[in-house]
């Protein structure tokens, strides 16, 4: 059994699998989620329930969070019942939510004042990557804290890279989401063209997925769309949140990202149609309508 005791906050599509891997590795894990039913699987496995982020952090040496939006991250750490109100000095806080780089920097600074190491470590790989412990984990924060956290990261992910100082993990995740956004538009247009040209998209996929056009999204998400499977490996609403963060950050850098702006408009349209809780592959289902 490891000497680290872990509080895991956020047991949704991704967090549930990530916390489960830590338990399988022998860590003691206490959990908190706003909706307790989403933590039941972990509780049945032996996780301990806590009633708030503060209660979860009180007896922990490491707190890991993966929640929905930047405002949720801020409340989880800085609120009256937040992690920083109880996590002991010398503790390690790791936010794995995709959030704002500036918020990551603020949390790091607040942690330094409290004697707590804070890292931003967003992930990529979706529900499948979380279940199979193959996530790519992009880490920002102090090097000493990174080496302390690395054994935990390696249990949850397959690729773990320390990108630099606080906020660097979130900035790297923005690079990831920007690339995905352009790729998803390309996939939707490619397969819409195939259908209009009288081809069978399924057989087109067989020809192009192993060539230069191939990608993780093509291999994993397009077959789901062909089966009318729009279950969320990653929610439309969360992807739109990420794109808005990327555009806000780009604006601060005085950088123009027209492709990302287009993707944000298309996903905003999906939300307006009531598809915010579907997976990002829902773009394929509605692409012709969205145009």
Full set of structural domains in the chain with CATH = 5-165 (3.40.50.720), 171-290 (1.10.1040.10)
Cα 162 from Cα 169, distance rounded (Å): 8
Clarify whether 45 is annotated catalytic.
Answer: no
pTM (two decimals)? 0.91
Structural contact between residues 277 and 284, judged by C-beta atoms closer than 8 angstroms: no
Structural contact between residues 40 and 65, judged by C-beta atoms closer than 8 angstroms: no
At 289 the pLDDT is 54
* DSSP reduced 3-state for 114: helix
Q: One of 100, 171, 173, 241 is an active-site residue; which one?
A: 173
Between residues 71 and 128, the one the model is more confident about: 71
| Per-residue pLDDT reduced to its tens digit, 35-81 | 999 999 999 999 999 999 999 999 999 999 999 999 999 999 999 99
At 288 the pLDDT is 60
Cβ-proximal residues to 122 (8 Å cutoff; 6+ apart), any chain = 96, 97, 98, 99, 137, 138, 169, 170, 172, 173
Strands 62-65 and 92-95: parallel
Closest CA to 73 of 6, 119, 124: 119
Two tokens, residue 162: 């320390």
H or E segment to which residue 119 belongs: strand 117-120
* Distances 236 to 78, 185, 242, 284 between C-alpha atoms, Å: 27, 14, 10, 12
Asked whether the predicted pLDDT for residue 257 surpasses 50, the reply is yes
């Amino acid at each position: 059994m490891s000497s680290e005791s872990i509080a895991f906050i956020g047991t949704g599509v991704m967090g549930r699998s990530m916390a489960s891997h830590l338990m399988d590795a022998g860590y003691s894990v206490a959990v908190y989620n706003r909706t307790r039913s989403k933590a039941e699987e972990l509780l049945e496995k032996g996780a301990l329930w806590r009633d708030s982020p503060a209660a979860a952090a009180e007896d922990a040496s490491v707190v890991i969070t993966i929640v929905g939006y930047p405002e949720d991250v801020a409340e989880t750490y800085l609120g009256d019942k937040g992690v920083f109100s109880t996590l002991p000095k010398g503790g390690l806080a790791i936010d794995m939510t995709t959030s704002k780089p500036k918020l990551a920097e603020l949390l790091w600074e607040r942690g330094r004042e409290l004697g707590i190491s804070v890292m931003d470590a967003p992930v990529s790989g979706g529900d499948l990557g979380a279940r199979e412990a193959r996530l790519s984990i992009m880490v920002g924060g102090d090097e000493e804290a990174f080496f302390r956290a690395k054994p935990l990261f390696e249990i949850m992910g397959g690729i773990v890279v320390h990108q630099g100082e606080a906020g660097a993990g979130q900035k790297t995740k923005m690079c990831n989401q920007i690339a995905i956004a352009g790729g998803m538009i390309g996939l939707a247009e490619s397969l819409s063209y195939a259908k209009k040209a009288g081809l069978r998209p399924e057989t087109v996929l067989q020809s192009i997925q192993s060539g230069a056009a191939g990608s993780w999204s093509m291999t994993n998400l397009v077959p789901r769309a062909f089966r009318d499977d729009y279950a969320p490996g990653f929610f439309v609403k969360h992807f739109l949140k990420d794109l808005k963060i990327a555009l806000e950050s780009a604006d601060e850098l005085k950088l123009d990202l027209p492709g990302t702006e287009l993707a944000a408009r298309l996903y905003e349209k999906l939300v307006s149609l009531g598809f915010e809780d579907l997976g990002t592959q829902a773009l394929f289902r509605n692409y012709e309508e969205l145009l």
